[in-house]
Amino acid sequence: MKIVLLANKEQKEELIAGNKEISAELIWSDELASLQNNKGADACIDLLFNNTSERISDLRQLESTIVIINSVLPPLSKSDNDIIRINGWNTFLKRQTIEGAGDESLKEKAEAVFSSLHKKLEWVPDIAGFISPRVVASIINEAYFALQEEVSSKDEIDTAMKLGTNYPYGPFEWSKKIGLHNIYALLKTLSAAEGRYVPAELLTREATV
């Protein structure tokens, strides 16, 4: 299987973490223009996706059998029934299971793509934030509420969460790796419909500086 991958070095290393002998032929670049000579691949995975219609148009010009984009926000539109979206936030790509959504007719092909990378695709509803990002964003938000109320410091909260829950990262450490602006954008979107997602004042200030 031939896969065109648009990603930075960190994302690429996360995606194939520990898998030195993947069965796919992986053609990697961090610039879309440099991949124009690799049309007709079995799949194009864009982990640098910028949520624009222009980007979708450019990706389609690669004429890949299936197009997969890193898009935690927003859900796919009706015109994107040939696109798969995945949760490609930093730290999530190194997991063995990747969350994805799209038209059911593309599920089997998408599963084959990730199988060739020694990953399992978990098909989830096409909703804003998928499942894991919603949970992690909520944990980070609660940590900011605790910090705001002077319960403890960032370092102490991080340490407590790693030791007490066996999380791979503390909430503040995690927010830096993911990008606090991504956490804020997801919480802001979700809070329009559900008040429990309203971002903490302190999180909002740090994310919008």
pTM of the complete model: 0.95
Amino acid at 168: P
- Specify the pLDDT at position 20: 65
How do the pLDDT tens digits run along the chain, 209 residues long? Answer: 999 999 999 999 999 986 668 989 999 999 999 999 999 999 999 999 999 999 999 999 999 999 999 999 999 998 899 999 999 999 999 999 999 999 999 999 999 999 999 999 999 999 999 999 999 999 999 999 999 999 999 999 999 999 999 899 999 999 999 999 999 999 999 999 999 999 999 999 999 98
State which H helix or E strand residue 86 sits in: strand 83-86
The DSSP symbol for 162 reads H
- Return the closest-CA partner of residue 17 out of 96, 110, 113, 121: 96
- Return the pLDDT at 19: 66
The yes-or-no answer to whether 2-123 and 132-207 have a common fold is no
Task: Give, as one character, the DSSP assignment of residue 106.
Answer: G
Q: What is the pLDDT of residue 180?
A: 98
Break the chain into its structural domains and give their ranges: 2-123, 132-207
Place of tokens 């979206």: 85
Q: 2-123 domain in CATH 3.40.50.720?
A: yes
Dihedral sign of CA atoms 38, 42, 48, 54 in order:
positive
Q: Which CATH architecture fits 132-207?
A: Orthogonal Bundle (1.10)
